[in-house]
A and B are shown apart, each in its own frame.
Chain A
């Protein structure tokens, strides 16, 4: 049982930049929650706070009711880049994630995970010999070998081509079904969020806050071509548009208003100022 609760989290950097304000996110046991938003809305910052890599300046993070301070054995992560240790073989890289396990158990899990991620014969290879997608598979295996209660994913598929990305979505879901970690994933890809998540938290920027949370009530496995899938995607898109139209407190709202006006008239202007233009409209 692993519940992740983020309550009223805020992060202001030493230089005064406010990255997050009053963010509440909840993930029930074994749930997949996607955090969706454009760049600058603090979604990676949020993940870093939960991973224990940075410290929040307000609010609390709890796992099963226990406050989370620093890094935690129950919380594991896959980053945007594979971040394999180049001096360890792929097998040893996976084992690195399970150093607290007994040797025999660790070796058995490395072996089975290598097969599960489709790289059975690759235990003795060096990371540099693998493609980007293969390296990310190893990174996923490394994150899961310790059977973490919470798995954090920071746009782990964003650097991959669409074919590789789709196959990694399948892989992740397979492993999730088997190990049932609570998953919190950050993404800027609407389709990815709808394919994977039970709930989607849409964030808006300056400072990063939660715009709204949507449930994805589609049965798994999800058919990307089904009309219901499209409908959900459209709902998410609407939420994103609302997040972009909303005026940002504490910053000048002229830009936001201009973009909102343009959108109302169906003439999204190319000249609309940078931070609030949507890449999807």
Chain B
């Protein structure tokens, strides 16, 4: 990509922001339910100065990352187990698929009954949301590793463990990372659900608080921060995975 061409993507959001700011300032539109950018900046600044914003971000990120770590680890281990062992797959996969058919949010009432309204139920919900895409991704990837490459491992004397570590694992790596990215996205989705169901801090709480107080500006600030955090986390994941995926033959345009 030529330098500077990325700026094309800014035309629409920046343009809309300028038009909206102009319209509200000149009395052409009411700014109460759709505050202009300058109002959002002021709100964000005052939330940040009081330290409130940092508390919310910290609470939300802790939940997302912990839930993601639990769900991704469980999904990876179970996916590898079922991919490698036919009997494990026969025993476990049908139950996992059945559980997957339940929309994850439907667990909320039960989790609250079982685990209370505090952190445990929130983390469980997020971990559950992250688990399924990671599990499915790695399970199907392990099953579809090229038999011909496995044979190379056998001819050159690898044990079963050696084949798992030196052939299967690198072969499933691209799918695994793609499924982690999907999982992380779902982690952000479910942290909102978890925080909307009752929390005293977190960006989801900020959303709910804004609704109850009629503060569209703090709702929008929370949404924008969600977008920034989600994008930042995904970028970190991509950057971490880049060195191990350099071998791939892709023509993906970098966005």
- Please give the residue numbers on chain A whose beta carbons come within 8 Å of chain B beta carbons, in ascending order: 51-53, 71-73, 75-77, 79, 81, 83, 85-88, 96-97, 99-100, 126-128, 142, 146
Contact = CB atoms under 8 A, between A and B. Distances in A.
Contacts of A73: 157
B148 A79 contact: yes
A64 B173 CA distance: 41
B23 interface: no
Contacts of A85: 149, 152, 167, 170
The majority secondary structure among interface residues of chain B is helix
B151 A53 contact: yes
A97 B156 CA distance: 6
Given A86-B247, A128-B249, A52 B154 contact: yes
Interface residues of B, number: 17
B233 interface: no
Contacts of A126: 246-247, 249
A86 B154 CA distance: 17
B155 A52 contact: yes
A87 B155 CA distance: 18
Contacts of A86: 247-249
28 contacts: A52-B154, A52-B155, A53-B151, A53-B154, A71-B155, A71-B156, A71-B157, A73-B157, A75-B155, A77-B155, A79-B148, A79-B151, A79-B152, A83-B149, A83-B151, A83-B152, A85-B152, A86-B248, A86-B249, A87-B173, A96-B152, A96-B166, A97-B156, A99-B156, A99-B157, A100-B157, A126-B246, A128-B249
Nearest to A48: B151
A100 B148 CA distance: 22
B40 interface: no
Contacts of A76: 155-156
B157 A51 contact: no
Interface string B91-106: 0000000000000000
A83 B148 contact: yes
Given A53-B155, A71-B157, 13 more contacts: A71-B156, A75-B155, A76-B155, A79-B151, A83-B152, A85-B149, A85-B170, A86-B247, A87-B173, A87-B247, A100-B157, A126-B247, A128-B247
Contacts of B149: 83, 85
A84 to B, nearest CB: 8
Nearest to A73: B157
A100 B158 CA distance: 10
A87 B166 CA distance: 10
A92 to B, nearest CB: 10
Contact of B156 (A81, A87, A96, A128): A96
A51 B249 contact: no
Nearest to A70: B154
Interface in B140-195: 148-149, 151-152, 154-157, 166-167, 170-171, 173
- Which of the listed residues A86, A88, A142 has the most CB atoms from chain B within 10 Å of its own CB? A86
Contacts of B151: 53, 79, 83
Given A73-B157, A100-B157, A87 B152 contact: no
B171 A51 contact: no
B148 A81 contact: yes
Contacts of B246: 126
Nearest to A145: B156
Nearest to B162: A99
B160 to A, nearest CB: 12
A116 B110 CA distance: 67
Contacts of B155: 51-53, 71, 75-77
B145 to A, nearest CB: 11
Contact of A87 (B154, B157, B170): B170
Contacts of A51: 155
Contacts of A79: 148, 151-152
Contacts of A72: 157
A52 B153 CA distance: 12
A128 B246 CA distance: 11
Contacts of A88: 247
A71 B149 CA distance: 15
A103 B157 CA distance: 17
- Which of the listed residues A81, A85, A142 has the most CB atoms from chain B within 10 Å of its own CB? A85
Top-4 shortest CB links A-B: A87-B170, A128-B249, A87-B247, A77-B155
A81 B149 CA distance: 11
A100 B157 CA distance: 9
- Which of the listed residues B155, B166, B247 has the most CB atoms from chain A within 10 Å of its own CB? B155
A105 B170 CA distance: 26
Contacts of B154: 52-53, 71
A99 B157 CA distance: 9
A243 to B, nearest CB: 29
B177 to A, nearest CB: 13
- Which of the listed residues B149, B154, B157 has the most CB atoms from chain A within 10 Å of its own CB? B157
